[in-house]
Amino acid sequence: MVVPELPPDIAELKERVGRFVAEEVFPLEESIAAAGEIDFAAVDEVRKKARAAGFSMLNMPEEAGGAGLSMLGQVALEEESGKATNGLGFAVVDRGPAELWEILTPEQRDRWVVPILRGEYREAWAVTEPGAGSDVSAVAATAVRDGDEWVLNGEKWFVTSEGNPGFYIVLAVVDGEQTLFIVEPGTPGLELTRVPGFLHDPYLDHHPELVLRDCRVPDENRVPAGGNEGAKEWFLVERLFIAARCCGASERALGIARDWRSSASPSGSQLPSTKASPSSSPTPSRSFSQRGSSRTTRLTRSTPTRTARSSTGRWRRRSSSPPRPRGASSTAPSRSSAAAAT
Ligand SMILES: Cc1cc2nc3c(=O)[nH]c(=O)nc-3n(C[C@H](O)[C@H](O)[C@H](O)COP(=O)(O)OP(=O)(O)OC[C@H]3O[C@@H](n4cnc5c(N)ncnc54)[C@H](O)[C@@H]3O)c2cc1C
């Protein structure tokens, strides 16, 4: 496969984003590693600076105030975003919900998406279920019409958000057809049941589990068309960008390894001995991998770590608390103007 050269404008943008990530975000990683949690105030500063630098909402169509950046351009920027740890790249390359924009009515765009474009909040996608992950066609959540309302029932996992999403996009089945619904936090019948710990914590986003029990939304919250296609398109784009971010992370890791190798042997001609005593071991120029591994020992699948919502509405790791039993509920986060990452 031939990978095309980046057009000069995209190459220049990529270079600027990469420089911003290195200058503004890498130093933040150090303080997050030391504190063991995300400094959301500092992240908000980075987000504001990135927005001022023109890195925000570039993927949105021009009619929505974006730049209509090509998929190649978006992938190039996601690669730079992936070089930051802790999900901090999301604060720099802040994409808007272009796939959603395509399928919403003008009224729905104005009401729910325009605040995202203004940086007031983010949306959260609630597609995955305990029995429907890779195979989205297995979604079992249902929506039944009752007068001017829809009654939603089901369970959703991995609902990624930074804390307080402006709304959830819930995929449910209506008479055999997959349909998307907009459900606002605080809607009766919507419960946030668990916030599992992840190996990548502390991370900008968390991935809570939701339950919908006779959760009623008005008909204007139903996305009129493209439920199935909308969810698939979102997954397609998200997964492509995950791959791009992994490429960026690999590039950075290789660079760190190369630097370490160079500093280990000034001549560059000899690999350091694996049997060297600790005192003679060269010190890596960055503590990237060491910090990563110390985090993973603290968070494991068998001992899920509960996170607690801070006063700012963001989720904070609380490792000393016992895990909340499955099914135990907490109130769904309320609407706020906090900007959350995808
Ligand atoms: C960090 C993170 C964030 C996420 N954010 C969101 C979100 O915001 N919203 C949301 O809705 N979901 C989200 N997800 C869920 C994500 O989309 C699912 O994890 C993904 O779809 C895989 O589903 P699963 O975890 O149920 O695994 P499964 O579908 O059970 O797959 C497990 C394994 O089996 C393999 N497999 C599955 N089916 C087949 C098959 N037919 N043939 C061969 N192999 C197969 C898979 O490749 C995988 O290796 C998130 C997940 C993670 C980890």
In the chain, how many domains are there?
A: 1
Indicate whether 155 belongs to any domain. Answer: yes
Give 282-312 as a 3 state SS string: CCCCCCHHHHHHHHHHHCCCCCCCCEEECCC
Ligand 1 atom at shortest distance from the alpha carbon of 132: 26
Indicate whether 235 belongs to any domain. Answer: yes
Ligand 1 atom at shortest distance from the alpha carbon of 160: 8
Q: Give residue 291's pLDDT.
A: 31
Q: Give residue 331's pLDDT.
A: 31
Indicate whether 218 belongs to any domain. Answer: yes
Q: What are phi and psi of 125, to 5 degrees?
A: -95, 125
Residue 165 CA to ligand 1 centre (angstroms): 22
Say whether pLDDT at 288 is over 90: no
* Atom 24 in ligand 1: residue holding the nearest Cα: 133
* Atom 16 in ligand 1: residue holding the nearest Cα: 133
Q: State the residue range of the domain holding 341.
A: 1-264+284-342
Q: Give residue 51's pLDDT.
A: 97
Q: Give residue 268's pLDDT.
A: 54
Say whether pLDDT at 227 is over 90: no
Ligand 1 atom at shortest distance from the alpha carbon of 171: 11
Most confident of 213-217, 265-269, 338-342: 213-217
Residue 148 CA to ligand 1 centre (angstroms): 34
Residue 156 CA to ligand 1 centre (angstroms): 13
Q: What is the DSSP letter of 279?
A: G
Looking up residue 238, the CATH number of its domain turns out to be 2.40.110.10
Share of the chain above pLDDT 70, in %: 76
* Atom 48 in ligand 1: residue holding the nearest Cα: 134
Say whether pLDDT at 317 is over 60: no
Q: Which of 134, 155, 192, 233 to mutate to test the pocket of ligand 1 (most atoms within 8 A of CB)?
A: 134
DSSP string of 324-340, one letter each residue: PPTT--BPPPPP-S---
Q: Give the pLDDT band of residue 342 (cuts 50, 70, 90).
A: very low
Sign of the alpha-carbon dihedral angle for 56, 61, 67, 68: positive
Q: Give residue 4's pLDDT.
A: 72
Q: pLDDT for 61-107, tens place per residue?
A: 999 999 999 999 999 999 999 999 999 999 999 999 999 999 999 99
Say which residues have a Cβ less than 8 Å from residue 28's Cβ, sequence separation at least 6: 39, 42, 43, 46, 88
Say whether pLDDT at 22 is over 70: yes
* Atom 42 in ligand 1: residue holding the nearest Cα: 134
Indicate whether 279 belongs to any domain. Answer: no
Indicate whether 320 belongs to any domain. Answer: yes
Q: Give the pLDDT band of residue 262 (cuts 50, 70, 90).
A: confident
Q: In the structure encoding, which two tokens stand for residue 322, read together?
A: 């016992």
Q: pLDDT for 122-134, tens place per residue?
A: 999 999 999 999 9
Ligand 1 atom at shortest distance from the alpha carbon of 134: 29
Say whether pLDDT at 269 is over 80: no
* Atom 33 in ligand 1: residue holding the nearest Cα: 134
Say whether pLDDT at 213 is over 60: yes
Say whether pLDDT at 298 is over 50: no
Indicate whether 256 belongs to any domain. Answer: yes
Ligand 1 atom at shortest distance from the alpha carbon of 342: 8
Ligand 1 atom at shortest distance from the alpha carbon of 200: 1
Q: Give residue 27's pLDDT.
A: 95
Indicate whether 273 belongs to any domain. Answer: no
Strands 149-156 and 209-218, by their bridges, are: antiparallel
Indicate whether 272 belongs to any domain. Answer: no
For residues 199 and 295, is the Cβ–Cβ distance under 8 A? yes
Say whether pLDDT at 272 is over 80: no
Residue 261 CA to ligand 1 centre (angstroms): 36
